[in-house]
Amino acid sequence: MDKSILSKVYNLISLSRSMSALFEREKTTTSKYVHATSKGHEIIQIAAGIQLQKDDFLYPYYRDDSMLLSIGLEPFDLMLQLLAKSKDPFSGGKTYYSHPSLNNPELPKIPHQSSATGMQAIPATGAAMGLKYKEEVGLSKHNEDAPIVVCSLGDASCTEGEVSEAFQMAVLKKLPIIYLVQDNEWDISAKAEETRAQDISYFAKGFKGLKVFTVDGTNFQESYIALQEAIKLDIEERQY
Ligand SMILES: Cc1ncc(C[n+]2csc(CCOP(=O)(O)OP(=O)(O)O)c2C)c(N)n1
Ligand SMILES: [Mg+2]
């Protein structure tokens, strides 16, 4: 793998991990309220974020700090939101920490986030439907850089009904969307055995036509290659 990619990734991981350490420091005066960092999830998030283009749509969830850094946001941007400052690039300090929304011409687009877990699945699928429609009616061109949607989810949020509805529609309409599920086997205070009868890879395979990749999200090469393939598939499969 290209050494410049690996060195960029290493820097992003170190940056993200040091931000988590700072935010979680016991005596810190910066953040006393609840927020989840991306600790332990850095690699899969960065493998996804560095492959996104400016016209793609991203639906991250509250744990996706590393993904936000890897699409080009600065630690300062995330800190402005953490401290609810008016110059926060997401919502001018109006939304909860790590509930990003972004309309920067140079970065992937992030529609506004809800705090209810899994709620991003249906709007994200709708955005994919919109991308497909624009190509079908000639409002945008289909080429190898055609935009896609990435919807990031936690494992427990996938036990919710709306995620099933989103999967159903994505395969029925052959939509350009990747559901990136980060499985840490936890749902705040409940373990995987308490929240689900099977893991999400097994569950997702029940949706005929949904291509499922299962990777070790702490292995960069494996994560990067699977996402690269998923992005390529999404673009290739939508030939109208
Ligand atoms: C609909 C809904 N139910 C419950 C909550 C409370 N809640 C916030 S985070 C969370 C755990 C989600 O776990 P998972 O999706 O696996 O994400 P993780 O934090 O483990 O990455 C819960 C239950 C919520 N925000 N929304
Ligand atoms: Mg979880």
pLDDT score recorded for residue 96: 86
| Residue of 34, 61, 153, 188 to mutate, ligand 1, most atoms within 8 A of C-beta | 188
Residue 113: its pLDDT value, please?
84
pLDDT of residue 97: 84
- What distance in angstroms lies between residue 238's CA and the mean position of ligand 2's atoms? 31
Q: What is the pLDDT of residue 31?
A: 58
pLDDT tens for the chain, 240 residues long, are 899 999 999 999 999 999 999 888 766 666 556 778 999 999 999 999 999 999 999 999 999 999 999 999 999 999 999 888 999 999 999 998 889 999 999 999 999 988 899 999 999 999 999 999 999 999 999 888 899 999 999 999 999 999 999 999 999 999 999 999 999 999 989 999 999 999 999 999 999 999 999 999 999 999 999 999 999 999 887 765
Q: How would you classify the pairing of strands 186-187 and 190-191?
A: antiparallel
Tell me if 157 CB under 6 Å of ligand 1: yes
Protein residue closest via CA to atom 18 of ligand 1: 154
The pLDDT assigned to 36 comes to 86
* Stated pTM of the model: 0.96
Residue-wise pLDDT for 13-49, tens only, equals 999 999 999 888 766 666 556 778 999 999 999 999 9
Confidence (pLDDT) at 83: 87
**pLDDT value at position 215?**
98
Contact by Cβ (8 Å): 153, 164:
no
Tell me how far the alpha carbon of residue 117 lies from the centroid of ligand 2, in angstroms. Answer: 11
Q: What is the DSSP string of the chain?
A: --HHHHHHHHHHHHHHHHHHHHHH-TT-SS--S-----TT-HHHHHHHHTT--TTSEEE--TT-HHHHHHTT--HHHHHHHHTT-TT-TTTTT-S-TT---B--TTS-BBPPPPSSTTTTHHHHHHHHHHHHHHHHTTSS--STT---EEEEEETGGGGSHHHHHHHHHHHHTT--EEEEEE--SEETTEEHHHH-SS-HHHHHTTSTT-------TT-HHHHHHHHHHHHHHHHHT---
- Give the tokens for residue 211: 């291509």
Domains and CATH numbers, the chain: 3-236 (3.40.50.970)
